[in-house]
Amino acid sequence: MRVAIAGAGNVGRSIATELLANGHEVLLIDRDPAAIKAASVPQAEWLLADACEMSTLEEAALERCHVTIAASGDDKVNLVVSLLAKTEFGVPRVVARVNQPDNEWLFTEGWGVDVSVSTPRIMSALVEEAVSVGDLVRLFTFRQGEANLVELTLPPDSPISGTAVGEVSWPEDTALVAIIRGRHVHDPGADMRLEAGDELLFVAAPERERFLEDLLSPKDSA
């Protein structure tokens, strides 16, 4: 798989190193000569140019790339790169880095983004996931399917504790994908009984999250 990465800072170079280790072809694009001088990924191809320019992306032969990653530290740059990659070069999958959480709403298919990754949002979600019991925590958003990866740790007073997975009436557009119990990850088979303390991972439509939380951990209305 051929991948173009716009932005050769610490994030871009780290992604490139991982992809190269997995056997992919990687092209790094950056207009800052210092990025190349500081390069720690000599196995990658390099293009010293502005990724927001059409001529640069033509030179990069972006139409031959399976994935484009907009990984710069500037959200405006990442949006422009995403839009050009998708609309002008037909790149099948565009992944964009979100630096400012307030800008997340912009990173949609309208700007050519298939998947957006907000590091601040992920970090805060992981903190919440570590300390929250009974509250639904959104870990990741899948833009194309308009669905989220969400987690909830089943509280001791959950009404479905002790119930088999197959006996629960889950909300529509919701799928239980894994149960983490202790140090083990379990496939949520129909006969597996839920226990207090289980970490449940779901893929769910955003509008179903409230129903899912109410089912798993209904709040006292008193």
CATH number at residue 7: 3.40.50.720
Do 112 and 199 share a structural domain?
A: no
Do 14 and 107 share a structural domain?
A: yes
221 within some domain: no
38 within some domain: yes
Do 137 and 113 share a structural domain?
A: no
- Domain final position from 71, 91, 117: 117
Do 99 and 30 share a structural domain?
A: yes
Q: What's the per-residue H, E or C state across the chain? A: CEEEEECCCHHHHHHHHHHHHCCCEEEEEECCHHHHHCCCCCCCEEEECCCCCHHHHHHCCHHHCCEEEECCCCHHHHHHHHHHHHHCCCCCEEEEEECCHHHHHHCCHHHCCCEEEEHHHHHHHHHHHHHCCCCCEEEEEECCCCEEEEEEECCCCCCCCCCEHHHCCCCCCEEEEEEEECCEEECCCCCCECCCCCEEEEEECHHHHHHHHHHHCCCCCC
- Domain final position from 117, 144, 171: 117
- The pLDDT value recorded for residue 150 is 86
Reading the chain (222 residues) residue by residue, the pLDDT tens digits are 999 999 998 889 989 998 999 999 999 999 998 887 766 788 899 999 999 999 999 999 999 999 999 999 999 999 999 999 999 999 999 999 999 888 988 998 999 999 888 766 665 555 554 445 556 777 777 755 578 888 888 888 889 999 999 999 999 999 999 998 888 889 899 999 999 989 898 999 888 888 988 898 876 544
- Domain final position from 117, 147, 181: 117
Q: Could you tell me the residue range of the domain that residue 190 belongs to?
A: 132-216
Could you give the number of structural domains in the chain?
2
31 within some domain: yes
142 within some domain: yes
- CATH number where 191 lies: 3.30.70.1450
pTM: 0.64
- The pLDDT value recorded for residue 131 is 46
